[in-house]
Structures are given as C-alpha cells and as structure tokens.
C-alpha cells in the first residue's frame, strides 16, 4: 500500500474458565491511535462466530471513522448466521477447530509453524 498508514493493536477477550468460549466480550487493550475521521481496516486472523468482531466494530463505529472495513485470513462459512461484511478474505472454512500460527485451544498449539485442523473436536 502506497498510502500513509499507522498500525495499532487491540486485544479482546471472550474465553471463560478452562478455555471455554463464552461470556461477555471485553476489551483488554484499547486502540491508542485516533479513529475519528480516518479510514480504518480491521485485520483479523479468523472470523468464526463474529461476536468479538461485532463488539470491536460497534466500538470503532462510535468513534466515527471515515470508513470501516474488515480483512481476515480465514472466514468460517455460517449460512445460518448474519455476519459483518469481510471485504478482504483469504480462505473460507467449513467446520472444525483450527490451531497453530497463533490460533490455540486452551492456550496450547499456538506456536505450531502452520495452521492445522484438529481431527477431533474439543
């Protein structure tokens, strides 16, 4: 991209005790960069249920950016669920639990050098 850009990070949490998914989304690390009036691109590793992403989307919308778009490497196909538009996506996934390259299950498998699908669902 031959445009002026700034990279910032947020951290959201939604995992409960024992690695179970659930509970309220909480923002652990808020963005430091100014959002108002700027073009914002959310970059995600995986969009699964989209609950955390919807939380972040609503948070950023309240900051009144000029535009707001989503980019994700992996997007879970869920025809029964209304999702936010992922305008830039790498791969569409079916069912299965992915681990590796930062994706984890109960904080394990995160450091695998690639992305793998577990043979058995957790």
E strand spans, 1-122: 11-15, 21-29, 39-47, 67-76, 88-93, 98-99, 116-117
Over residues 57-84, the pLDDT tens digits come to 999 999 999 999 999 999 987 766 678 8
List, for residues 89-104, the tens digit of each pLDDT value: 999 887 888 898 888 8
At a CB cut-off of 8 Å and minimum separation 6, what does 72 contact? 43, 44, 45, 46, 47, 86, 88, 89, 90
Mean pLDDT of 5-19: 79
pLDDT at position 20 is 55
What backbone phi and psi angles, to 5 degrees, belong to 45? -75, -50
DSSP 79-110: TTS-----SEEEEEE-SS-EEBTTB-BTTBST
Q: Which residues are catalytic?
A: 48
* CA distance between the termini of the chain: 39
Task: Please give the domain boundaries of the chain with CATH numbers for all domains.
Answer: 11-95 (3.40.50.2020)
pTM for this model (two decimals): 0.78
- Over 90: is that where the pLDDT of 18 sits? no
Contact of 26 with 10, CB cutoff 8 Å? no
């Amino acid at each position: 991209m031959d445009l002026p850009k700034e990279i910032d990070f947020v951290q959201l949490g939604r995992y409960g005790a024992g690695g179970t998914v659930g509970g309220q989304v909480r923002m652990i690390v808020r963005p430091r960069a100014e959002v108002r009036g700027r073009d914002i691109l959310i970059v995600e590793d995986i969009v699964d249920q989209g609950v955390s992403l919807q939380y972040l989307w609503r948070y950023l919308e309240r900051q009144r950016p000029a535009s707001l778009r989503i980019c994700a490497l992996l997007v879970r196909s869920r025809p029964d669920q209304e999702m936010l538009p992922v305008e830039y996506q790498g791969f569409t996934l079916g069912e299965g639990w992915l681990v590796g390259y930062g994706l984890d299950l109960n904080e394990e498998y995160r450091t695998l050098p690639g992305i793998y699908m577990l043979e058995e669902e957790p």
